[in-house]
Amino acid sequence: MEGTVRGEANLFIEGSLKGSIELEKHHITVGSKGHAEAEIQADNVTVSGRLTGNIKAHGKVEITKDAHFSGEIKAKSISIEDGAYLKAVIELGRESDKKGIPASSPTQFASTSPNVRQPLSDKQPEHVNDSPRYS
């Protein structure tokens, strides 16, 4: 099969496909007997056969032990089983920081002891005289 595949269902490929696959909210699987040369856009992608091309997944990409993949992967997460052939450029996205600290302004830390780190504040500490007192 050659061309563009668009749809509203999961897709399982066990034959030959050349072109592009756009299933934004669904799962695409290239089965163990599948062979594809494709640009893939999907929610999740599993590769168990041969795939040459690029994958853009909103969720996870799984490369199984029987897979042969060559191309680019852009996803939130990836798993690669031992034994898989993988020649790829991989870009993994991450969700925004859940603690609410903007990535552009990292927190600076000062150490009060070797094992404790505390955030620096704009206020200066009151002067404490730590010199030994002799009577």
Q: What does the pLDDT look like over 101-134, one tens digit per residue?
A: 454 444 444 444 454 445 454 544 454 555 555 5
pLDDT in tens, 84-99: 999 999 999 876 544 5
Instruction: Give the pLDDT of residue 94.
Output: 77
Per the structure, the count of domains in the chain is 1
Q: Strands 109-113 and 116-119: what pairing?
A: antiparallel
How does DSSP classify residue 3? Answer: E
Integer Cα distance of 89 and 92 in angstroms: 10
* Domain-located, residue 56: yes
**Out of 35-39, 43-47, 98-102, least confident range:** 98-102
Domain region containing 13 = 2-90
Does any domain span residue 66?
yes
- Per-residue confidence band for 72, with pLDDT thresholds at 50, 70 and 90: very high
Domain assignment present for 109: no
